[in-house]
Chain A
């Protein structure tokens, strides 16, 4: 699951090292356009429902917290 997510993230923002970054939003590495594209792709690929309420910095700062969000919706 993590590999699939990393592939989605890297396709949206090839210049960001998602393996190591832990402040993607706080450091301004992900912008609103990227977030919308990533979330749309996640919903498509993982078949989960994410809403505007999920668009919080703490859900997008690292690949691990994003993974946790997806897992909480697939559980």
Chain B
């Protein structure tokens, strides 16, 4: 079942009806039943992966919580030795949990790639033919985050396995996140929500906006992207850039559109899921871009990788070494820069088992690390050139510079192979073949003039709306102040647009999201 099927819409309508008619205290059972049903339709093996993740992390959280309680009740006279013992037990429980979960993820996602990459060194090792279930890395990260929080004593573990299973499997976020936090999501899931017409209205609006982004823009942009990247030998450098531009539109509208549908569906049940995007096209630096793009993965990496790594013993040692060998700020920022590099390398690898993603991690890591190391130099340049940080021209320059950096990175991730991606980038700069602009190539990419206009105008309209949001306008609140007729018009406008321009390919709708594979 997918977000674009009639069966999903019928299931959603049925679950909403059931959710709001059963007593408040039983409403979470409806969510659990629907979530498990939604996921199990993906096959028995998908269900087993889910059960494994829920089971190991439920048990891990429970044991850690008990150890925390035990630690709190140690009598003062035995505090020191007992505390050490419990601390060590906790560490082993956490390590075991991480090994089990990330071990499984490694086997499913990275084992075959590792075996093939190392075959020259270690000889032939057996490969596995497990199919990665939808959303595995999303719900696994979410569950592992819960266990780490239990380890840190942030909250007590959930004792009810069914309630915990709902946290792991809440159906709207099973496809591509967002990666939620237990203390923010769980109370909302368990507490029954009373019927609220506004919640349902807002949810429908948000979901429709998501469908619109995906079906009007992403699906059209995908046609151009596939045409160019499936047969790059037919095109010159300009069209490679054209393809990457369309890929940027496709990726954003596909992922953020899917997340809008997810959050909209959750909102219909009165549940607020974490924001995953905050207008990334207006980012003023690469670090800012990553704070706006896939926010929940970034904050997960910050809390569970970057901070622990930065304060780990090896990094403290690195810090002492750096201070000794480098004077001034450089010596102080080296450990932070190194931790930043590792985090972005992991983010690259998280996207998939492929040298392209590893290179993408390096690319981001190197730029972010150098910006940390060179921050002082940049500040001096700005002072010498009398540049004000908040001047509109400098902001525009920063936005364009960030866009260019992100744009180059997309060559690496979208090209079929890493080296080909780099060659395409080189040809964009050295051999644009501008004559192709006038020989009708653009009309052979699979889109008509109307389709190009839909993408161009739709994308511009989206950028304008996001600009207003960037400047502090709350679109929803602005709409609330309008006449009810205008509000309904805004609700039906996406529907009308979807009906006219939504499904435009003969083959129907592409049901999978790009981030689903990650």
A contacts, CB < 8 Å to B: 11, 14-15, 31-33, 36-37, 39-41, 44, 50-53, 55
Contacts and interface: CB of A to CB of B under 8 A. Distances in A.
Given A33-B287, A52-B152, A52-B311, A11 B329 contact: yes
Interface of B: 152-153, 287, 291, 302, 306-308, 310-311, 319, 323, 329, 332-333, 335-336, 339-340, 372, 379, 389
A37 B332 contact: yes
Nearest to A41: B332
Contacts of B307: 32, 36, 52, 55
22 contacts: A11-B329, A15-B389, A31-B291, A32-B302, A32-B306, A33-B336, A33-B340, A33-B372, A36-B306, A36-B307, A36-B310, A36-B311, A36-B335, A40-B319, A40-B332, A41-B332, A51-B311, A52-B152, A52-B307, A52-B308, A53-B152, A53-B153
Nearest to B288: A31
Contacts of B335: 36, 40
Given A32-B302, A33-B336, 15 more contacts: A14-B379, A15-B389, A31-B291, A32-B306, A33-B287, A36-B306, A37-B332, A37-B333, A40-B310, A40-B319, A40-B335, A50-B311, A51-B311, A52-B307, A52-B308
Dominant secondary structure of chain B at its interface with chain A: helix
Q: Which of B308, B311, B379 has the most CB of A within 10 A?
A: B311
A40 B319 CA distance: 8
Given A15-B389, A31-B287, A52-B311, A36 B336 contact: yes
Contacts of A37: 332-333, 336
Contacts of A32: 302, 306-307
A43 to B, nearest CB: 8
Chain A to chain B: the 9 pairs with minimum beta-carbon distance, closest first: A36-B310, A52-B307, A32-B302, A36-B336, A52-B308, A53-B152, A37-B336, A52-B311, A55-B307
B298 to A, nearest CB: 9
A39 to B, nearest CB: 7
Nearest to B379: A14
A40 B152 CA distance: 20
B366 to A, nearest CB: 15
A36 B319 contact: no
B516 to A, nearest CB: 28
Contacts of A39: 311
Contacts of A11: 329
A61 to B, nearest CB: 17
A40 B329 contact: no
A44 B389 CA distance: 31
A40 B336 contact: yes
Contacts of B291: 31
A32 B287 CA distance: 10
A51 B151 CA distance: 14
